A and B are shown apart, each in its own frame.
Chain A
């Protein structure tokens, strides 16, 4: 009985968003009398960082400090319409909607400031620190806060903006079958090294290396966080997690967290990532977003690594010890496959 090492790789071209009847996101932004801005979205931050990313995008476009922007995703009943947080669409779709809303709000903000300063709005710029001044004449300035108060209490203006970003429905051409469901693709390649025990059927992930091309990385630490965490979800989907281990037979399914296998802090292996940035022409500041692609290439890479290690091709997930042992038995023993690129 022995442990066999194997290496597998997978590449992915990943579409951002989806196209089932069109893919719109809306954003609404308004200023409060204290000069701070509220961004209303109906897409929910599930922990992937959408609130932070849309906050950065809004602050950058409005030209105000990031501390002065609050993103509210509290209520999809009262908020503007959104398709939702899925299909890795958050950064791209909501980011673009927020840019559109912030541009309109910025236009009203500068008009209100122009009225106070008695200048032309086209001559005004923001310094990103909460001030608006005449281009080339920083002393002729007014704070965003004073502008918001003047708009609210003197001018009777609403500093607000509406934004929508829509990828319209792309129908299939009946003659050619062609369609254009997506405007932005992200890309990745991932290599997984594993060790398979031919006695227990257990797979240990020794390490992973990957390269991700995500467009402009709007928040580098959050991208890293998402890629690392998502990769572990991929490992978990590949090796551990399933609600129905004998699908379509529902028996022996996990009933709670004690029986549903999830990776813990002791299960992590070294993982290095190279992040490449090729800004998307239609992305918010060029961003596409990592999204589900963090996990996607991990599954085929591990399946390939298991095949490389012991010659067992498991076609349904998760790749459990039972499936590996049955495969090894069917093959009459572990059959390590050839590997290009030298030893692990």
Chain B
């Protein structure tokens, strides 16, 4: 099938790629644009490690057609840090030992970012709900939840000041 051009903003930069109309976003990000932040896990929308933000909305890149992202703004885990300065969630994941093998981490960080964007002060249950679409095969959910909780509490404390 003839390839079609796809243009979108990726982590703040205008990017373009030629994609098969049936290509999913994950394939275009990884193979077309060399953004290896989002991982290929199950390829069927179950594990969540390919999670990205499309116009601020949490999406599974493996189930999103790349062509449908024309003109969109896409954020991946690769764009979370500000140069050498880690995003507060990344910092908290480090401090809480929230990564073991690390394969789920890009999706967990992205899901957590989406959660805090729409709900800056989530309860523990809301955090669990926010990452319910992400599987951690090391079963290290507890430190991941603790890391997200610490950022939420820190942000809430910052608002009160």
Contacts and interface: CB of A to CB of B under 8 A. Distances in A.
Interface of A: 46-49, 221-222, 224-226, 228-233, 236, 256-258, 262-266, 268, 271
Given A47-B100, A225-B100, 9 more contacts: A47-B102, A47-B103, A221-B97, A229-B139, A233-B139, A236-B139, A263-B141, A264-B132, A271-B142
B145 A265 contact: yes
Nearest to A259: B46
B134 interface: yes
A222 B103 CA distance: 17
Nearest to A262: B135
Given A47-B138, A229-B140, A232-B139, A266 B132 contact: yes
B142 A228 contact: yes
Contact of B46 (A48, A256, A268): A256
Nearest to A221: B97
A265 B141 CA distance: 5
Contacts of B54: none
B128 interface: yes
Given A228-B142, A257-B42, A257-B47, A265 B137 contact: no
B117 to A, nearest CB: 19
Contacts of B46: 256-258
A49 B100 contact: yes
A229 B135 contact: no
B44 A266 contact: no
B77 interface: no
B50 interface: no
Interface size class of B (residues with CB under 8 A): 20 to 34
14 contacts: A46-B101, A47-B100, A47-B102, A225-B97, A225-B100, A228-B139, A228-B142, A230-B139, A233-B139, A257-B42, A257-B135, A258-B46, A262-B137, A264-B132
B42 A268 contact: no
B131 interface: yes
B139 A222 contact: no
Contacts of B10: none
Contacts of B120: none
Contacts of A221: 97
Nearest to B103: A47
A51 to B, nearest CB: 11
B134 A265 contact: yes
Interface in B107-155: 127-129, 131-132, 134-145
Nearest to A47: B101
Given A229-B138, A230-B139, A265-B128, A257 B44 contact: yes
Contacts of B132: 264-266
Contacts of B145: 265
A264 B133 CA distance: 8
A48 B144 contact: no
A256 to B, nearest CB: 6
A228 B98 CA distance: 12
A167 B80 CA distance: 47
Contacts of A262: 135, 137
B20 to A, nearest CB: 23
B100 A268 contact: no
A137 B134 CA distance: 56
Interface in B26-82: 42, 44, 46-47
A236 B137 CA distance: 11
